[in-house]
Structure formats: C-alpha cells, structure tokens
Chains A and B, each alone.
Chain A
C-alpha cells in the first residue's frame, strides 16, 4: 500500500517552456503533499507543502509564481515550472501522506533538463 506515482519521470525541453509534473496517490487519500528539489549528491530541499483545496505554503526563497502548485483533489497534486530555464534543471520529487502523524510516501521523482 501507500503508493505514490509521479509523472513524467524524465523531461527534456527548451528554455522558456513551462513544464507540468503530476503526483498521484494511488491507494490512499493524500491530505498533504510535498514537493522537493534535489541537486546532484545533495539532500532534499523542501519547496512547498500543499493541502487539498487550499493554497500551497512555500518555503523561504522559493518563487511561488515560478513554481505553481495545485492540489485540486485528495489524490492529485501538480507542480508547474513556468518559463523554465537551465538553472531550473534538477530532480523534483513529490511525497504525500494521508494523516499528519503518518510517514511521507514518495514518488519516483522527475528528472528535468532544460536546454
């Protein structure tokens, strides 16, 4: 149980393109979803936390107009990287939990490469 599906797994696109990444909880209702960014050989950097039906809470230094997060249902959250540039290239990982006192379950990540 507790499967989180993240799609796509790999994206390569031109600078200036907007890219949408989906995160779905397959067998549980995700009241809270998280988006992380991970640079090579580095730890996870929490970008934002989203609760279903409400606006995402962004961490300090993360541009909310650049990284649009939508958590429209209890099983789906999306991260849109708007007008992506090469410095946005990274590994993006989502996670979800159904209850506050439960562990986070992670998707397999999305490798984003902006040319």
Chain B
C-alpha cells in the first residue's frame, strides 16, 4: 500500500531553522499536508500544498515539494521553543478515494 515516511526526531537550537523531511510513495498524490501536534492535543493543520506546486511560503513556514523524488519538506525559520511538537506529513490522492495517509510524525525538540 501507499506509504509516507519521515524521520522520528529532530533537535535544533532556538533561532535556527528546522527542516523536517518526508517521502511518500504514491505518485498520484494530489495534496500534501503538514500537521502539528502539541502534547495532549489533536492535530492542527499547518499548511498544505497541491502537487502542481513546487513551493509554498506562509510566514515562517516554507514547504518544498520535489514531485520527481516524491520528497516533501517543511522549513521553520527562526525556530522558537513553542515550535516544539510532533509534525506529521500526510498525502492524499484523488485516485485513492481521497484517503489520507499519515507519516509516523517527527518530534521536534527546540533547545533554548
């Protein structure tokens, strides 16, 4: 079946940039999402990108999509301690009945 993979852990210093990477297998992916989960809470949709886009920027967040390599990344500029959370990558394809496949999540730890 379709799969989404991401590294499990990332540690950065406050003020640095964080880059969280994700790879997926479904070549017909239409939408790719980034969600943030803080401790004891649900998932918050951070941003998403359509498969016909290469990049999307929203304030401190930059999403890059390399469709050829099926690689998605989320860059957080000027990372703050409040950015510490689990970040989930997800993909959705119109050929799969729009079923959303989630990665295992990357735990971002920001050191002060």
How far apart are A62's CB and chain B's nearest CB, in angstroms? 16
Whether the pair A44, B48 counts as a contact (CB closer than 8 A) is no
Q: Report whether over half of chain A's contact residues are helix, strand or loop; otherwise say mixed.
A: loop
How far apart are B110's CB and chain A's nearest CB, in angstroms? 18
B contact set with A: CB distance below 8 Å: 30-31, 33, 35, 40-45, 48, 88, 92, 94, 97-98, 100, 102-105, 107
Whether the pair B100, A101 counts as a contact (CB closer than 8 A) is no
Q: Which 7 residue pairs across A and B have the least CB separation, nearest first?
A: A106-B42, A100-B98, A43-B104, A106-B43, A108-B42, A109-B42, A107-B42
Whether the pair A101, B31 counts as a contact (CB closer than 8 A) is yes
Please give me the residue from chain A that is nearest to B107 by CB atom: A41
Within 8 A of B (CB), among A46-71: none
Whether the pair A103, B33 counts as a contact (CB closer than 8 A) is yes
Is A6 positioned at the interface, with any CB of B under 8 Å from its CB? yes
Whether the pair B45, A44 counts as a contact (CB closer than 8 A) is no
Is A93 positioned at the interface, with any CB of B under 8 Å from its CB? yes
Whether the pair A101, B42 counts as a contact (CB closer than 8 A) is no
Contacts of A101 in B (CB 8 A): 30-31, 92, 94, 98
A106 CA to B48 CA in the complex, in Å?
A: 15
Whether the pair A93, B88 counts as a contact (CB closer than 8 A) is no
Whether the pair B43, A93 counts as a contact (CB closer than 8 A) is yes
